[in-house]
Amino acid sequence: MSEIRAVVFDCYSTLIDIKTDESKPEIYHYLSLYLQYYGAQLEEKNLRNMLKREKEKYIRRKNERYPEVDLEAVFGKILKRAGLNNPFLTESCCKLFRLLSRERFQLFPDSLPVLEEIKKSGYEMAVVSDAQKVFCLQEGQLLGINDYFNHIVISTQFGFRKPDARLFEIACNLLGVPPVESVYIGDHPEKDIEGAKNIGMQMILVNRNLHEGSPNMQFRPDYYAKDLREAWQWIKTNKKYRQINN
C-alpha cells in the first residue's frame, strides 16, 4: 500500500450533513409566486411537470454513462419559454429551489476539526462531489470549508457524475499526486468506492449508518470508518506504518 500524500473528500453526507426533499409542493408554489413578479404565469403543477420533462430531456442529450443534470441550464430553458431570458433570474430560481428543498443543512461535528488537522499535516486536499455548481460553492463557503481545499471538482462542471472515474482523475491531476498516493473519503457504498478504486485510489467509506453496501459490489473500501475522526486515524496509522517499514 502506497503512502498517502493527498486526501480527497466527497462533500454532501460526508462533510455536510444535509437532507433535502425536492418533492414538496411548497417548493413549486413559492417558485410560481416568485416568478409572477417578473411576469411569468406558471402554475405550480405545470412548473413541476416542466422541470421533470426538461431534466429528462437534458439527460437524453448527454452521451454519458453517468450523465449529470445542470439545474441552471434546465431552469434557463423553462424561463426562456416563459419569455424570461434572464441569467440572474435563472440563478435565483435555482437557489430558491434549493433553499425550499433543504430540511437539514449543517456540518457534521467532526468535519472542521478533522479538516484542520489534515491541512496542518501538509496533505494536498480536494473535493469531488456530485453537486450543482450554482449553489455548491456558496454552500461550502457558508459553512466555512472551501478554504481547506486546493481544488473543488463538481460534477455539473463536466456533465458527468460519480462513479465516473474521470472526476477522480481530474482531482488527482489537479493536485499533482498519483491516484495510488491518494485516498478518497466518501459515504456512498457503490459510486464512491467504484469511482475511486477504478483509478487505483485508496478509499475509506464513512459508515455513519453502519451499512456495508451491497454484497454484489465489485469493489470494497480499504477501510470502513464510523466517522471522519476514525478515517483520519487510519490515514495517520498508514503513514506511520510506512515510515517504520522504510
- The answer to pTM > 0.85 is yes
Q: Which CATH architecture has domain 6-18+106-245?
A: 3-Layer(aba) Sandwich (3.40)
In 3-136, where do the E strands start and end? 6-9, 16-20, 102-107, 124-129
- Percentage of residues of the chain with pLDDT beyond 70: 93
Closest listed residue to residue 9, CA positions, set 117, 112, 106, 127 = 127
Q: What is the pLDDT of residues 101-130, one digit of tens each?
A: 999 999 999 999 999 999 999 999 999 999
Residue 218 has pLDDT above 80, yes or no: no
The pLDDT value recorded for residue 213 is 54
In the three-class reduction of DSSP (H, G, I as helix; E, B as strand; rest coil), residue 174 is classed as helix
Q: What is the pLDDT of residues 157-196, one digit of tens each?
A: 999 999 999 999 999 999 999 999 999 999 998 899 999 9
Contact 134, 91 (CB under 8 A): yes
The pLDDT value recorded for residue 207 is 86
Cell 452521451 belongs to 63
**3-state DSSP of 113-154:** HHHHHHHHCCCEEEEEECCCHHHHHHHHHHCCCHHHCCEEEE
